[in-house]
């Protein structure tokens, strides 16, 4: 789907697994989190294109070159009794920024959310990422400051999973 002249948003395919892994590593480097990034083309291929896909991904191309991606999945709102679309990651390579690529990716996902009957489209952003925050707010997105994200990973996740129901 072409949004603006020279920008094309397309669904990722298994052949894009290495590209997606590279873009995720570039995002992790930008976010100063490369030390927490364990992505490989193989685990992307399995989790996005295996027998039970856990998420979807679209690739942004500008003038025929891959310049960004958005990885997303459905969640569910019990209050709305509707699915939602959750954007896990959005990344545009620095050379392609300020050319409408990020906006094209978000518009594409908003169109998918509407077409799929979603009640909301949401994502998280690091609190220090002022350029991204300003960009999102310019599109009408609003921070949900009354919510705090909690996360359990690694050993804490394993310990919680080992707890009995009694």
pLDDT tops 70 at residue 166: no
Cα–Cα distance for residue pair 153/35, rounded to 1 Å: 15
Q: Which of 30, 76, 86, 136 is catalytic?
A: 136
Confidence band for 164, pLDDT divided at 50, 70 and 90:
confident
* The two structure tokens encoding residue 113: 């959310």
Which pLDDT band holds residue 165 (cuts at 50, 70, 90)? low
Residue 153, token pair as written in the block: 């990973």
Q: Residue 128 sits in a domain of what CATH number? A: 3.40.630.30
Residue with tokens 């490989």: 40
Residues contacting 75, CB < 8 A, separation 6+: 83, 84, 85, 86
Count of domains in the chain?
A: 1
Torsion of CA 67, 32, 129, 65, to 10 degrees: 0
Q: How confident is the model at residue 2 (pLDDT cuts 50, 70, 90)?
A: very low
Domain of residue 143: give its range: 7-161
**136 labelled catalytic:** yes
Q: Is residue 19 part of a domain?
A: yes
Residues 6 or more apart whose Cβ sits within 8 Å of residue 47? 53, 54, 55
Tell whether 47 is covered by a domain. Answer: yes
CA distance 46 to 59: 18
Reply yes or no on whether the pLDDT at 24 is more than 80. Answer: yes
30: confidence class by pLDDT, cuts 50, 70, 90: very high
Q: What is the pTM of this model?
A: 0.91
Predicted confidence (pLDDT) per residue in 107-130, tens digit: 999 999 999 999 999 999 999 999
67 found inside a domain: yes
Summarised one tens digit per residue, pLDDT across range 36-81 is 999 999 999 999 999 999 999 999 999 999 999 999 999 999 999 9
Residue 166 located in a structural domain: no
């Amino acid at each position: 789907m072409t949004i603006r002249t020279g920008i094309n948003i397309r669904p990722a395919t298994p052949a894009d697994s290495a590209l997606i892994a590279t873009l995720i590593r570039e995002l992790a480097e930008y976010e100063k989190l490369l030390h927490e990034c364990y992505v490989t083309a193989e685990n992307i291929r399995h989790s996005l294109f295996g027998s039970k896909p856990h998420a979807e991904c679209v690739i942004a191309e500008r003038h025929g070159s891959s310049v960004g991606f958005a990885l997303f999945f459905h969640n569910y709102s019990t209050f709305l009794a509707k699915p939602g679309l959750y954007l896990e990651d959005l990344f545009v390579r620095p050379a392609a920024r300020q050319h409408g690529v990020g906006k094209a990716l978000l518009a594409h996902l908003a169109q998918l959310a509407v077409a799929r009957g979603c009640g909301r489209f949401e994502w998280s952003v690091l609190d220090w990422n002022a350029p991204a925050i300003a960009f999102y707010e310019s599109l009408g997105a609003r921070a949900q400051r009354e919510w705090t994200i909690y996360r359990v990973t690694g050993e804490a996740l394993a310990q919680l999973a080992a707890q009995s129901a009694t």
